[in-house]
Amino acid sequence: MIQYDGSGFKGWQNQKDTITVQGTLEEKIAELDPIRPVKVIAAGRTDSGVHASGQVVHFDCSGPIPTNRWASALNGRLPSSIKVLEAVSVPSNWHACYSAKHRRYRYSIFNGSYPNLFLQNISWHRYRSRLDINLMKKALNDLLGLHDFAAFQKAGSTRINSLTTVQDVSISRDGDMVTVEIQATGFLYGMVRLLMGQLVSVGEKQLSLENFLHRWRNGLRSEVKEAAPPHGLCLIRVGYEEKLFSKEKSFDTFPSFSLPTFESSK
Q: Which residues are catalytic?
A: 47
Q: How many CB atoms lie within 10 A of CB 16?
A: 5
Q: Which residues partner with 148 through β-bridges?
A: 163
Chain CA centroid to CA 57, Å: 14
Cα–Cα distance for residue pair 88/200, rounded to 1 Å:
39
Instruction: Give the CA angle between residues 218, 219, 222 to the nearest 5°.
Output: 120
Q: Which long-range contacts (CB under 8 A, 24 or more apart) does 248-253 make?
A: 249/1, 249/85, 249/86, 250/1, 250/54, 252/53, 252/54, 253/3, 253/53, 253/54, 253/85
